[in-house]
Amino acid sequence: MDVAQGHVDNRPQLLTGHTGAVSCLILAEEEGLGLEGHLLLSGGADRTIRVWDPAIKDPSKACVQTLRGHGGTVSSLAFCDGVLVSTSTDHTIQVWKPDEGRELLLYPWFSPHQRLANLDCWATDLALRLGETAGLYVGDEQGTLSAYRVQTSPLQLTRWRRQPKAHSLGITRLLLLAQEHLLVSASYDNTVRLFDTQTGTAVLTIENMNKCRFSALCWDSAHQELLLGDEVGFVYLWNIAAEKCLKCERLHEAGAAATNNRAALTIRDLSVSNGELLVSRAASCDYWLLVRDQKYSEAKGHTGAVIALGVHEAKGEASAEDEAVYSASLDNTIRAWNPYDMSSLSVLHETSSEISCMLHSPLCAFLLTGNDDGTIRLWNPDSGSTITLTGHTNTVCCLDVVVRGRADLLLSAGFDGHVGVWDISKRRYAMPRLEAMVRAHAQEILCLKAHPLKGTFVTGGNDKRVRVWSLQSYELLATLEGHTEAVTCLAFDANFLLSGSEDGSVRVWDMHSHMALGRIAAHDAPVEGILVVAEYGYLVSCSTDNTVRVWDYGAGEELKAWRHPEEFRCIAYQRSTEHIVAGTDQHSIVSFPLSEVVAEQQALRDQERREEEERLAREAAAVAAAAEEERRREEEAAAEVERLRLEELGLEEEDEDTPRGQKKGGRKR
């Protein structure tokens, strides 16, 4: 789920009349109420309640009634089926009822009906429901919840249940979910609690992870979700049936710089309708679009662009707990994430130079990073200790690891146009050493990939060329030309090489003949990363055009396009969960379900198979019907022949039985 911001009408109608601060405000909606079926009710520090019709454009006439009866600030209001209930700092609850005989008039005239003055402290909020499940629920400054039975004929309130210390501190907000038989309460103790309205039992407690109070409550009945707002500007979407937070996001005040002023950040109220969320603060009122059913999840933690990703998979007897997703960022950190819920596990800090690339390879136990100062660092991901390799004279921006014979080799390349070959084999008392430094391109090298079986490695860069090199002799074997912009990424799939470029295309090459096999117009912006999911034969690409795409590259067919508001920089495949993880320029890691594509393609194949079976069945049925028709015609023809034969035979017998004279027509007279 994502949120997209919009703005409400910035020319609001100003209603004046209270002589003190407005302490509470509710919208009363009922058919025939006011000019447009609703009235605005406000309570203030001036001890009055005012009834407004916002449909009246003349502000001097918008207030249609002023109610007086409290001896202190009106602290809360509730309205249901024509009945108004108010609370005040004077420790009273006041029930107001419309005068009888005014049903046909445009506005009801509220008069005092019942006053409850036996409260130990002042009530802070209330919730009212009439009808079959009638009840009044009151929260107070001591954290106590009180429930009142509501008798409708005649209208009368009687205390039913009192729950001291429902919260450890004062209650600030109440929300009644009548259909769910739940009461939601927020408190200064930084929690929201849900109570069963029948028994008073607490069924769920939600603690604020920001250690501040929840300031707004809202129920989305269409999606059965509870929305919460807090003092530092966060909005939470909770599925209370699953007891799970679906989304937590900080909604910054529109048009304002980030601020630590809690009064300005506090979300005062929330309202949701038709996928639009209205958020009010002290000085603004914005609406946000709730976009649901997004096919991705996000992890945030970096404060700079995510430039590289790696996945550590459990092998052999290793448990799933050993798995991790690693990310490197321009904020000079390497983070480890739980691959199942993308929670942060650990952070490594680079202090000497800016990280320019990262590699995690199953061939070695290290995390490897290339740096802006030309160094390469081998990290122990558990202890954070490092080994530094020097040899390049400029930024190292690509790395790969390959086995040659008994040696584990690290290949590095970067802006100096050279490829470094390092022996990083595990040997007692032996440190990684530089074996060769090969001049590969006259311009910057941007990508490098070794073929694990062919004994070759491939480079690409700003000169728009792809070059193939021998891993044994470091000789140039072939130069592949076709891209019109810099080559940014490479991937192998058996005997095929795939190259991505800033020209937005991915090209396919045969590594036997070094011939071009095809070109895919993959993106509308530079291709930043590609990978091949060998078990399915899919090519996955990402780009700064805000998309990650899945391809059947043999057919040049796009199978899936995932879109996101941020620009992608890198991708990796998480095999254990069948997810594509992608890093963005805007500091996020986004996870997309590849299993969804697999299921969709399987469904298409099943559909094609069923259609082919149906087609064959129809053809077989048509052949059988044609054969049956032919047999029927033959039988009819044979029957006709037999009938004619029998008729002819019958005539002959009749002639034989007829007397001679009758045969000649009888004797003449």
Burial environment of residue 626 by CB neighbours within 10 A (0 to 12, 13 to 18, 19 or more): exposed
Q: Provide the total of helices (H) and of strands (E) in the chain, helices listed first.
A: 3, 52
Measured between alpha carbons, how far is 197 from 311 in angstroms, rounded to an integer? 48
pLDDT at res. 3: 46
- Do 302 and 335 contact (CB within 8 A), yes or no? yes
578 three-class SS: coil
Length of the chain as a residue count: 669
pLDDT at res. 321: 66
32: amino acid identity, one letter: G
Q: Which residues, given as ranges, of the chain have pLDDT below 50?
A: 1-8, 253-258, 664-669
Measured between alpha carbons, how far is 4 from 321 in angstroms, rounded to an integer? 36
pLDDT at res. 4: 46
Report the relative pairing of strands 579-584 and 496-501 from DSSP bridges: unpaired
Residue where the block lists tokens 């002639």: 655
Tokens coding 200: 């008073």
pLDDT at res. 8: 47
Return the closest-CA partner of residue 136 out of 122, 157, 152: 157
pLDDT digits (tens, 9 = 90+) for 17-33: 999 999 999 999 888 88
Residue where the block lists tokens 């099943």: 606
pLDDT at res. 7: 46
Measured between alpha carbons, how far is 321 from 278 in angstroms, rounded to an integer? 42
pLDDT at res. 511: 92
Measured between alpha carbons, how far is 634 from 25 in angstroms, rounded to an integer? 91
Measured between alpha carbons, how far is 236 from 192 in angstroms, rounded to an integer? 12
CB atoms within 10 A of CB 531: 19
Measured between alpha carbons, how far is 495 from 536 in angstroms, rounded to an integer? 16
Taking CA atoms, 354 is separated from 370, 410, 413, 460, in Å, by 9, 20, 16, 22
Write out the DSSP string of 546-564. Answer: SEEEEEETTTTEEEEEEE-
